[in-house]
Structures are given as structure tokens and as C-alpha cells.
């Protein structure tokens, strides 16, 4: 490391004397004496501190004036003078610099007038309306948009900023950023017009292993399943909940709630899901006793083999593999169970059915780009996106004209191989097919009354109604959240500020080829099961148990 050279006091005095004469700039003096400019400035400051006199000097150009503390206001020119200047310049043969100096203008001002006159004519030379100044705060939202933001947050207090944004996009046809939503809610709280729940305490993040994300490319390729438990409010008894969730769409295909978590309890939910939506190719579970047997095959595994479904088993003590189910448990706990506190099992089943239907068909999912699980499960995501964007564009024009935005209405479905769409146009419902067939229905033809209470215009569909699995699937997407469902426990999703994917274990799971259903049934009926035999169709991950 090179040492800094030491300068004598006489050398410093000589350098400072040459600099303080004021005949040469600091850079020239420093270069002549072989010093950095910063060293020369440091020696000057040291001498000033030791002598107590302000030695600091600032060289100004000849004829330069001291800058005033407040700059003079820019002159304002009426449109007539601007037009006269532009026309005089066009008739003259002077350059812009010479002409501006003659008229007492800056070259920049003259150039700006010429540009505006060329683009918009004399009308463009009129002064522009004053805009927002720095520090004036954000531009106020239109009143209908502000009311929609506050209403959504009041109805769903646990919605985060992005969840409010997604809900407004699809349910109200309004595009607003999370930052604007935060400013609007903060202003409402400051004014005392809105009360927000206490935010949850931030948990200390522990550095964990790198989590691998995975997602199947189509619905019904992989279903995840997991079991959790909740506590009833009246009897303080524990009830167990099992769900089967489509990995691609997060659509809850089946669930069951019971006092006991046995194999029959899990098979009941799986049979119901297969009856409604068909069998998946694979089912992913943990190593719970309801799913997996350490020796031989469990009842659940034998059922999967009979149906020709491959069983994928997560490695021990690795809940991240079924992370999508784990994420759903947090949503149910915060947004439904903690708020409604069911008293008994029957009430819990009824209210939970409404909530899970709300999650499937009405709740925007952040990992799905603001779509609902049903839209992705039934292949309606492209149509839903187009309908949402079209509604937002229509409402942008209405807001620009000072009118109240309209709520979007759209429905997409498929009956057999025939696709149909239903959307609203100026107070009418339009039913259309891909072949171009179009049917318009008015509200009077449907028997709807515009002045009727909102509660009378909703029709509840029983959650337990079974759909026949005969190749004709009916599905749809709507933007209205049923108020009856909200009152009966259909609360919104949690503040989903975090990612809603699950983690994948290290390495792809090993799978044994599943036997055909007929062969599997014959083998199960003909051969007794030996508990000592291993299960070739379900291999664990990780090796250590």
C-alpha cells in the first residue's frame, strides 16, 4: 500500500498563497504543484478554521450578478403577443437566437411557441390550464370509484390491497391500483369514516430451504388432498376437514367434515369429487394413516388402484409438497372459522359449503391472475379476461364523462360440446353461441323487477346438489357475490399478500404404472392382500422415515 506523501508547513503556505491570490482557479494551482484539488480545498478549510476568518472565496465570472434568494417570476404573454411573435418570425429572415434576443424572449420559449403553433394553430398558443403542483397530494378519485373502494373494504375487511383491486376489476369493472386504494382507505380512516381491523403481527421469517414450485398444465391431471381440524364453539369438540383440490386451477372438487378422520371419511369426499368431475390421473397426499400404509396397502390406496389413479406420496415431514392445501387452511381459519365460529357440526357443514362455493366461483385468486378457480378449471379464463377488460374499458369512458360506472354482467358455460356465453348490453341479456346464434332477453321478459329488494333478486343454489356425470358439464362465471352467501359465512379471502403456490420436494416423485381399472378390480377380488407386501404404486420421497 502506497503511503501518502507528507508536505512541509512552508510548502503548504506557498501553495495557499498562490491559490488565495485569486488569479488562477483551484484546478490550475493544484496541477502546477502536483496536488489533488480536494487536498487544496482541505488545506484552505484548515487555515480558515485556525485563523477564525472566512477564507472561503468563490470566483464569479466577469459581469455575473449574485443570484437572488427567490427567482423572479416568469413573464406571462397573452395569446395575441405569442401569435404576433410567431408570425413576425415567419416573415423575418433571422435565426431563432437573433429573433428571440430582439423580442426579449428566450430561445427555448420561441421554439416552444413555434412547435405548438405548427401542431395546433393559433388555438394552441393559448395558456394551458394550471396542473398539479408538487406537494398538492394525489389527484382525487371520481366519487363512484371512491365509494366502490370503501364499500368493498367495508364488506370484506380482511381483503388486502391486491385482493380489493382484483375484486373491483371483475365485480365492478373498475381498474384502480393498489397504491391508490391504500391512499383512499388511509384518507377515509383519517377522516373517521372507516375503521380497519388491526393488522396481523408480522412473523419473523426463518431462512429455510429453497422451495421448488410446481403446477400441472391441465385440470384433472393432479389433485392434492390434506386433512386439518377445527374446534366447534358450543361443544368444544374437534371436527376434521378433508379437501381434494385441483393442482392446476385450485378448484375444490370435493370435501368432507366429520368428527372422526377415518379412511371412509376421506373416500367419501373422493367418491363425491369423482362423481361430479371425473377421475384425475394422479392424487398427491402426505403419509397420513388415512392415505398411506407403511406395510401393505391402505383402503385409500386400494381404491385408487381400482379406479386406475396413480398415488403420489410426499416425503415425511414435508408439508410444503401439499402447500396449496396448506394455504387453503389459513384462508378458512382466518376468513371463515374465526369470524363465524360454528356452534355444531350441522351448522359448520352448511356454512362451510357456502364458503367453499364462494371460494370456487366468486373469489379472485392472485396466483391465477385475478381469475376464479372455476374459470380456470372449466377453461373459461380467456373469455373471462376478455369480458373483464371490455367492462373496464366501457366504465373508463363513463367515468371520464362524469357518469356512474356500470357493473359488468357475463356468464360463460358449456353444455356437452356446445359453448354458450351470456352478457349484458344496455339493460338486456344476450345469449350467444360460437355459430352466431343470438338471443336477446329483456328484464321484463325474465320477470325481473328493478325496484325489488336486492335480497329478492338472488336465488340460492343448494351446495349439496349432485351433478350427473354423463359427459355434459355445466359451469359458469359471474361477478356478483351473493349477499346471502356473505351473510351465511361466505366471507372473502384473506389478505393474500404472499404467494399462494405450494412447494415441491427435491426431485420428481417416483410413480409405478397404474393398472387398468378392470385388471385392478380382478386382482383385488382374486388375491388376498398380504400386509407384508410393499406398495409399488406409492413411493415415498426423501428416503428417510
pLDDT tens track, the chain, 545 positions: 556 667 787 888 888 888 887 777 888 888 888 888 888 888 887 877 776 665 444 455 544 455 445 555 667 788 888 888 888 888 888 888 888 887 888 889 988 888 888 877 888 888 766 655 544 444 567 888 888 888 888 888 878 888 888 888 777 778 888 898 988 888 888 888 888 777 666 665 555 555 566 777 788 899 999 999 999 988 889 999 999 999 888 899 999 999 988 888 899 999 999 998 889 999 999 888 889 888 888 899 999 999 999 998 887 777 777 888 888 888 898 888 888 888 999 999 999 999 998 888 878 777 777 788 888 888 776 666 666 666 766 666 666 666 667 666 656 555 555 555 555 555 666 665 545 566 776 666 555 554 444 434 444 334 444 433 343 344 444 443 343 343 333 333 433 333 444 444 344 444 434 444 433 333 333 333 343 344 444 444 433 33
Grid cell, residue 349, equals 357443514
Whole-number pLDDT of residue 370 = 73
Whole-number pLDDT of residue 129 = 67
Specify whether the CB–CB gap between 520 and 306 falls below 8 A. Answer: yes
Please, which residues have CB within 8 angstroms of residue 510's CB and are 6 or more apart in sequence? 539, 541
Per-position b or e across 16-25, b if 16+ CB within 10 A of its CB = beebeeeeee
Whole-number pLDDT of residue 476 = 44
- Of 540, 545, 538, the residue nearest 506 (C-alpha): 540
Whole-number pLDDT of residue 447 = 58
Whole-number pLDDT of residue 230 = 92
- Tell me 480's DSSP state: P
In CATH, 215-364+506-526 is 3.30.420.10: yes
- Of 266, 284, 246, the residue nearest 504 (C-alpha): 284
- CA–CA separation, 182 vs 207, rounded Å? 30
On the CB side of 507, CA atoms within 13 Å amount to 11
Report the run of H or E that residue 31 belongs to, with start and end.
Answer: helix 26-33
Specify whether the CB–CB gap between 408 and 387 falls below 8 A. Answer: yes
For residue 497, the Cα-to-chain-centroid distance in whole angstroms is 8
pTM of the model: 0.47
Q: Where are the domains of the chain?
A: 12-51, 79-125, 143-190, 215-364+506-526, 367-479
- CA–CA separation, 468 vs 476, rounded Å? 16
Whole-number pLDDT of residue 131 = 59
Residues facing 424 on adjacent strands: 429
Q: What does each C-alpha distance from 284 to 192, 311, 320 come to in angstroms?
A: 49, 6, 12
Per-position b or e across 331-352, b if 16+ CB within 10 A of its CB = bbebbbbeebebeeeebbbebb
- CA–CA separation, 221 vs 278, rounded Å? 11
Specify whether the CB–CB gap between 391 and 398 falls below 8 A. Answer: no
In this structure, what are the phi and psi dihedrals at residue 291, rounded to the nearest 5 degrees?
-105, -35
Specify whether the CB–CB gap between 500 and 364 falls below 8 A. Answer: no
Report the run of H or E that residue 39 belongs to, with start and end.
Answer: helix 37-51
Whole-number pLDDT of residue 352 = 92
- Of 332, 223, 228, 328, the residue nearest 283 (C-alpha): 223
In this structure, what are the phi and psi dihedrals at residue 488, rounded to the nearest 5 degrees?
-105, 25
- CA–CA separation, 16 vs 459, rounded Å? 92
- CA–CA separation, 6 vs 22, rounded Å? 26
Helix (H, G, I), strand (E, B) or coil at 310: strand
Q: What does each C-alpha distance from 83 to 96, 125, 128, 177 come to in angstroms?
A: 15, 7, 15, 42
Whole-number pLDDT of residue 423 = 55
Whole-number pLDDT of residue 271 = 92
- CA–CA separation, 391 vs 282, rounded Å? 38
- CA–CA separation, 418 vs 358, rounded Å? 26
Range 48-51 contact pairs with CB under 8 angstroms and sequence separation of 24 or more: none
Tracing cell 419473523 back to the chain, one arrives at 204
Specify whether the CB–CB gap between 218 and 282 falls below 8 A. Answer: no
Whole-number pLDDT of residue 465 = 42
Q: What does each C-alpha distance from 258 to 54, 240, 264, 339, 353 come to in angstroms?
A: 87, 5, 10, 20, 13
Amino acid at each position: 500500500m502506497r503511503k501518502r506523501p507528507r508536505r512541509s508547513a512552508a510548502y503548504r503556505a506557498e501553495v495557499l498563497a498562490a491559490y488565495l491570490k485569486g488569479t488562477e482557479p483551484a484546478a490550475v494551482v493544484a496541477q502546477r504543484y502536483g496536488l489533488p484539488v480536494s487536498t487544496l480545498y482541505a488545506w484552505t478549510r484548515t487555515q480558515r478554521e485556525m485563523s477564525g476568518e472566512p477564507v472561503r472565496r468563490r470566483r464569479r465570472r466577469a459581469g455575473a450578478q449574485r443570484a437572488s434568494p427567490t427567482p423572479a417570476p416568469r413573464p406571462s404573454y397573452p395569446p395575441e403577443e405569442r401569435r404576433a411573435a410567431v408570425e413576425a418570425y415567419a416573415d423575418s429572415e433571422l435565426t431563432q437566437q437573433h429573433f428571440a434576443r430582439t423580442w426579449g424572449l428566450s430561445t427555448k420559449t420561441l421554439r416552444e411557441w413555434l412547435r405548438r403553433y405548427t401542431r395546433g394553430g393559433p388555438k394552441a398558443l393559448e395558456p394551458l390550464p394550471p396542473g398539479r403542483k408538487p406537494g398538492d397530494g394525489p389527484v382525487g378519485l371520481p366519487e363512484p370509484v371512491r365509494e366502490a373502494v370503501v364499500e368493498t373494504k367495508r364488506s370484506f375487511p380482511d381483503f388486502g390491497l391486491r385482493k380489493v383491486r382484483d375484486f373491483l376489476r371483475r365485480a365492478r369493472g373498475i381498474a384502480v391500483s393498489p397504491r391508490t386504494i391504500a391512499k383512499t382507505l388511509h384518507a377515509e380512516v383519517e377522516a373517521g369514516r372507516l375503521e380497519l381491523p388491526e393488522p396481523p403481527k408480522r412473523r419473523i421469517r426463518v431462512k429455510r430451504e429453497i422451495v421448488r414450485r410446481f403446477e400441472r398444465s391441465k385440470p384433472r391431471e393432479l389433485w392434492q388432498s390434506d386433512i386439518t381440524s377445527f374446534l366447534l364453539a358450543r361443544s368444544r369438540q374437534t371436527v376434521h376437514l378433508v379437501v381434494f383440490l385441483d393442482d392446476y386451477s385450485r378448484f375444490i372438487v370435493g370435501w368432507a367434515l366429520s368428527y372422526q378422520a377415518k379412511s371412509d371419511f376421506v373416500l367419501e369426499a373422493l367418491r363425491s369429487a369423482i362423481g361430479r368431475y371425473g377421475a384425475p390421473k394422479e392424487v398427491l397426499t402426505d403419509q397420513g394413516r388415512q392415505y398411506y400404509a407403511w406395510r401393505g396397502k391402505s383402503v385409500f390406496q386400494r381404491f385408487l388402484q381400482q379406479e386406475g389413479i396413480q398415488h403420489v406420496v410426499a416425503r415425511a415431514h414435508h408439508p410444503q409438497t401439499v402447500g396449496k392445501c396448506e394455504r387453503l387452511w389459513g384462508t378458512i381459519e382466518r376468513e371463515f372459522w374465526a369470524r363465524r365460529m360454528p356452534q355444531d357440526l350441522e351448522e359448520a357443514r352448511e356454512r362451510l359449503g357456502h364458503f367453499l362455493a364462494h371460494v370456487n366461483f366468486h373469489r379472485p385468486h392472485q396466483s391465477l391472475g385475478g381469475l376464479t378457480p372455476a374459470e380456470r378449471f372449466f377453461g373459461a379464463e380467456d373469455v373471462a379476461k376478455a369480458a373483464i377488460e371490455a367492462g373496464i374499458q366501457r366504465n373508463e369512458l363513463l367515468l371520464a364523462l362524469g357518469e356512474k360506472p356500470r357493473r359488468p354482467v357475463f356468464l360463460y358455460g358449456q353444455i356437452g360440446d356446445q359453448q354458450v356465453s351470456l352478457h349484458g348490453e344496455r339493460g338486456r341479456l344476450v345469449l350467444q353461441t360460437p355459430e352466431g346464434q343470438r338471443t336477446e332477453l329483456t328484464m321484463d321478459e325474465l320477470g325481473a323487477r328493478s325496484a325489488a329488494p336486492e335480497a329478492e333478486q338472488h336465488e340460492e343454489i343448494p351446495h349439496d346438489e349432485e351433478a350427473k356425470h354423463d359427459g355434459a358439464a355445466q359451469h359458469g362465471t359471474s361477478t356478483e357475490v351473493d349477499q346471502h352467501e356473505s351473510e351465511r359465512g361466505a366471507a372473502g379471502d384473506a389478505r393474500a399478500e404472499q404467494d399462494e403456490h405450494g412447494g415441491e420436494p427435491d426431485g420428481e416423485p417416483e410413480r409405478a404404472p397404474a393398472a387398468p381399472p378392470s385388471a385392478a378390480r380382478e386382482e383385488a377380488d382374486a388375491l388376498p392382500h398380504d400386509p407384508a407386501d410393499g406398495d409399488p404404486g406409492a413411493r415415498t420421497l426423501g428416503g428417510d422415515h
